[in-house]
Every structure is written in structure tokens, then in C-alpha cells.
């Protein structure tokens, strides 16, 4: 009888190592569904089947639990990178690049918590726990497979790019691809099956945009040389242009003015002859413009959501920050989620208007000039509208990307709708690589997007081993000319 009671007591109190593991598992499940600030220790204890006091036996604070989880998953990620890259016998062959993409996809399917913890760290800790994870990845690639990269560089037909830079950029692209598909409801976000999308990307990387660079006349050639000679000045001009478009796409305008390229698009600029509003009355304020209290509430909510998550923010926090009563908030919104939905809806509308205006400016989308302009626009989205991306990350963690679900749906189709005639002309030009131009433009857009997200939100600190402007120029070089003058796999 005594033995049975003793055994019963022992069974009802799991050993310390088991309790610690259960607490960590419970915290992981809660953090990755409602955020760090949105989770309290009582919830963790209830889910783990232990007392709240038991948590403090193993962890001095809730952040200590998150810190341990971040260390564990970062170590797993580092181990995965090391072992996967070292298995690549010919890292820049089509076979190994596809195998690399497949391994990353499998890893993200098996351990989706890795990317979710990274996003939580971005939102709620300014990337404190994963800091350094993306520092100078080309150097890490050289340390892992330096001999194989040197061998690739010495093979006939290599275009002269730094192979470690290329492999690092491709690695990040594959991870971002997995993030969109797994956590952002990408649902074949490049308009084709994932397997085919990776194959097309690798083919693009190998051969570049052009099998031979397009012929240009003397004036255009001088302009191209001038473009290369004055990158800093041209970058500043592009940024000024993008900033102006950004201003015009603000929410409070009655209707953002339509921008167009100087040469125009004859079938599209029908509004060019419309009666313009005198400067005296610009900007035209939207008739349904929110009043000052509503704007203050939304600004307060945006600041709080993007630092402590949705579940970690309560109505009282928003009211205090906005300088209004809690009752005033309910005048405009029946519940907290409606504020979140309003922010997402209005921000998306502004961002879609901005993206549309930028895309319409691309007269020759795959020229160096226009690729730079596209990179500058993507940089503005990531840096100037950092809160927009943070809202998206919050939606991934706390709402399974319910509010942003359509954003990444068939991106090539979105570009095709805006630039159909221009892309068709590109396809007919001599030397074009033969791929669907809309697919290629979407791929390049996401390539730039991924680069700037890591730099801005994940403390990339020149994660491709170069200053930003030089890194973008090299990415454009790689995409324009490809890695090889001929396909080494075919040989």
C-alpha cells in the first residue's frame, strides 16, 4: 500500500528535467501563436501542467525561457547550415543548388518554429537573441566549402562573380521563399509549382537575363556608361523620385495623382488630359478622412502592436498612448482586432498604390537603370515603412497571416497586369533568356526584398560582406549576366 502511494506521488510530480522540457515546449507553442508579450507565465504553467512557481525553479523570468529557446533553435539552424552546405560537392551546379533549396524547404517544414522565433525576435526584441545570425555569410560559405568555390571560379565559362557572395545570396533567397510559402500563405506565390519555381530561378541564375546583352544605339550606350560612372548621384536621384511617389500615395489624399514615365505609355495615360486641381488647393483631402482622435488611436495602436505584438497590447495601453479615454476607442472600433484590421487594410491600400506607381515607371524593367530604381523602391518599402512589415510578421505569428493572405498570391500575374505590353516587348527582344518576364521580375523583386529585410530588420550588418550599394550592384550583375558563359552541367 505504501509503495503504491509513493509511486502515485512520484507519477504526479514529474522529474525536474521533464518539467523543464514541458515548460519549454508549452512556452514555444504559446510564443509562436500569440507572441512573447501576449503570453504570461500562468498560461505557460497551465499548458505545461505545472504550477507557476515551478517555472521560476528553472527560469528566472519569462524572457529567460525565450532566450533559451532562441539559443537552441539558432544552434540547430547553424548546425543545419554547416552540415547542408558541406554536403554540396559542387555548390554552384544546378543539381546542388536545387538540392540546397530542397533541404531548406524540408527543414522549414519539419521545424517551422525556427522562422517564427526569428520573427518574434524581430518584432518584440529588435533581433536581440538572433543577432549576428546573418553576419558576413560569404565568409562562412568560404570557411565551409572554400575549395569547391575556388574550383568553380577557375572553371571555363565562369563569369567572374565572387562565388561565396553568390552562394550566400542564394541561401537567403531560398529561406525567404520557404517563409512565404510556409508562413505567408504563398500558395505558389510565383505562379507555378514550387519545384518549377526553384528550377526556373536556378536557370535564371545560371544564364542571366540575356543570352547576349541587347544591342543599344550610341546615345543609349553613352547613357549606360554614364549610369555606371555616377552610381551615387543616380542613386540619390532615384531615392528622391521614390520618396515623391511615396508622398503621393499617402492615405489622406483624396486620390493619389497618377505617375507615369516621361516617355509615356500610349494606351494607359488616358487621365493625362484630365482637369488638374490648382496648386492652391493641393493636397486634396479625402472626404472620409479620419478625425484627429481616430488617427491618434491608430498611431498609438501601430506603435504598440509593432513592439509588443497584438495579444501583448490591451485597449488601456492604446488609450493611454493616444491620450484618449477607453470609451473613445469603442466609438470607432467595437474591439481591438478591428483596429488591427483597419491598420492592415489602409496600409495595404497605400502600399499597393505605391508599388503600382513604381512598377508603371519601369520603361525597360531589366535595364540596369530600372533594376536600380526597383531596388530603391523596395528599400523604401522596407526601411521607410518598417511598421508595414512588422504588421505582416505579427499577422504570421498571431493570425496565421489571415489579414495579408492575398499579398503574395501569384506575384507574376500582378506584374503582368500592370506591365503586360512592356513585358511582351522584352520577351521578343533578341538575346532574352526565354523565361516569362513577369516571373523573372517577381523573382528579382523578392530577391531585393529579402536583401533589405535582413539588413533592416535582422541587423544584417552588410550580411553579404559588402556595403549596400555595392551589394545591389553585384546582385544586378549576377542577374544580368548569369554565372556561366555556358552551362557547365551540360558539358
Residues 298-319: tens digit of each pLDDT: 999 999 999 999 999 999 999 9
At 54-79, the pLDDT tens digits run 999 999 999 999 999 999 999 999 99
The confidence score (pLDDT) of residue 351 equals 94
| pLDDT score of 224 more than 50 | no
The confidence score (pLDDT) of residue 222 equals 46
| pLDDT score of 17 more than 60 | yes
Instruction: Please state the pTM of the whole predicted model.
Output: 0.88
482 Rama class: left (phi>0) / alpha (psi -120 to 50) / beta: left
Mean pLDDT in residue range 219-236: 57
The DSSP call for residue 213 is P
Mean pLDDT for all residues in the chain: 88
- What domains, with CATH codes, occur in the chain? 13-60 (1.10.10.60)
The Cα-based distances of 293 to 250, 283, 329, 387 in angstroms read 18, 21, 9, 20
Mean pLDDT in residue range 175-184: 95
Task: State the virtual CA torsion across 122, 128, 133, 137 in degrees, nearest 10.
Answer: 90
At 421-466, the pLDDT tens digits run 999 999 999 999 999 999 999 999 999 999 999 999 999 989 999 9
Ramachandran angles phi, psi of 403, nearest 5°: -85, -25
DSSP H helices, 230-385, are: 231-248, 292-308, 315-322, 326-332, 336-360, 368-384
Q: Which residue from 209, 208, 198 is spatially nearest to 95, judged by alpha carbons? A: 198
SS3 285: strand
All 3 cell numbers of residue 316?
Answer: 488601456
121-135, 200-214, 272-286, 474-488: least confident range: 272-286
Q: Which residue has the cell 553613352?
A: 222
Q: Which residue has the cell 547613357?
A: 223
Strand partners, 285: 253
The confidence score (pLDDT) of residue 445 equals 97
The confidence score (pLDDT) of residue 262 equals 46
Ramachandran angles phi, psi of 484, nearest 5°: -130, 145
All 3 cell numbers of residue 137?
Answer: 555569410
* DSSP string covering 403-460: TTTTTTTTHHHHHHHHHHHHHHHHHHSTTB-SS-HHHHHHHHHHHHHHHHHHHHHS--
Amino acid at each position: 500500500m505504501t509503495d503504491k502511494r509513493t509511486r502515485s506521488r512520484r507519477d504526479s510530480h514529474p522529474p525536474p528535467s521533464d518539467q523543464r522540457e514541458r515548460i519549454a515546449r508549452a512556452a514555444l507553442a504559446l510564443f509562436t501563436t500569440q507572441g512573447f508579450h501576449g503570453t504570461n507565465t500562468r498560461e505557460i504553467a497551465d499548458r505545461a501542467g505545472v504550477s507557476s512557481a515551478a517555472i521560476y525553479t528553472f527560469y528566472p523570468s519569462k524572457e529567460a525561457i525565450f532566450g533559451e529557446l532562441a539559443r537552441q533553435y539558432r544552434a540547430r539552424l547553424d548546425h543545419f547550415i554547416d552540415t547542408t552546405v558541406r554536403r554540396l560537392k559542387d555548390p554552384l551546379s544546378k543539381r546542388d543548388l536545387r538540392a540546397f533549396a530542397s533541404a531548406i524547404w524540408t527543414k522549414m517544414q519539419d521545424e517551422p518554429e525556427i522562422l517564427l522565433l526569428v520573427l518574434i525576435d524581430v518584432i518584440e526584441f529588435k533581433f536581440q537573441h538572433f543577432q549576428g545570425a546573418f553576419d558576413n555569410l560569404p565568409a562562412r560559405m568560404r570557411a565551409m566549402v572554400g575549395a569547391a568555390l575556388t574550383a568553380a571560379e577557375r572553371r571555363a565559362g565562369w563569369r567572374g562573380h565572387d562565388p561565396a557572395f553568390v552562394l550566400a545570396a542564394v541561401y537567403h533567397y531560398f529561406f525567404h521563399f520557404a517563409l512565404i510559402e510556409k508562413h505567408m500563405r504563398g500558395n505558389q506565390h510565383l505562379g507555378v509549382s514550387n519545384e518549377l519555381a526553384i528550377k526556373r530561378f536556378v536557370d535564371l541564375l545560371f544564364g542571366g537575363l540575356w543570352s547576349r546583352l541587347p544591342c543599344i544605339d550610341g546615345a543609349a550606350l553613352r547613357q549606360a556608361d554614364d549610369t555606371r560612372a555616377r552610381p551615387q548621384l543616380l542613386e540619390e536621384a532615384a531615392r528622391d523620385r521614390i520618396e515623391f511617389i511615396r508622398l503621393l500615395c499617402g492615405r489622406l489624399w483624396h486620390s493619389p495623382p497618377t505617375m507615369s514615365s516621361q516617355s509615356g505609355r500610349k494606351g494607359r495615360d488616358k487621365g493625362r488630359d484630365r482637369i488638374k486641381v490648382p496648386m492652391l488647393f493641393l493636397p486634396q483631402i479625402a472626404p472620409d478622412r479620419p478625425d484627429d482622435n481616430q488617427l491618434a488611436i491608430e498611431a498609438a495602436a501601430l506603435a504598440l502592436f509593432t513592439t509588443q505584438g497584438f495579444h501583448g497590447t490591451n485597449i488601456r495601453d492604446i488609450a493611454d498612448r493616444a491620450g484618449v479615454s477607453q470609451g473613445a476607442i469603442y466609438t470607432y472600433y467595437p474591439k481591438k482586432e478591428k483596429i488591427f484590421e483597419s491598420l492592415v487594410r489602409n496600409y495595404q491600400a497605400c502600399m499597393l498604390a505605391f508599388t503600382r506607381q513604381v512598377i508603371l515607371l519601369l520603361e525597360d524593367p531589366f535595364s540596369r537603370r530600372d533594376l536600380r530604381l526597383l531596388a530603391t523602391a523596395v528599400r523604401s518599402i522596407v526601411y521607410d515603412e518598417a511598421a508595414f512589415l512588422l504588421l505582416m510578421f505579427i499577422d504570421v505569428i498571431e493570425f496565421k497571416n489571415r489579414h495579408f493572405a492575398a499579398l503574395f498570391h501569384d506575384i507574376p500575374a500582378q506584374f503582368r497586369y500592370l506591365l503586360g505590353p512592356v513585358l511582351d516587348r522584352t520577351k521578343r527582344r533578341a538575346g532574352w533568356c526565354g523565361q516569362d518576364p513577369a516571373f523573372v521580375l517577381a523573382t528579382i523583386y523578392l530577391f531585393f526584398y529579402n536583401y533589405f529585410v535582413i539588413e533592416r530588420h535582422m541587423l544584417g550588418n552588410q550580411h553579404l560582406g559588402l556595403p549596400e550599394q555595392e551589394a545591389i550592384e553585384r546582385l544586378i550583375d549576377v542577374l544580368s549576366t548569369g554565372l556561366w558563359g555556358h552551362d557547365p552541367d551540360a558539358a
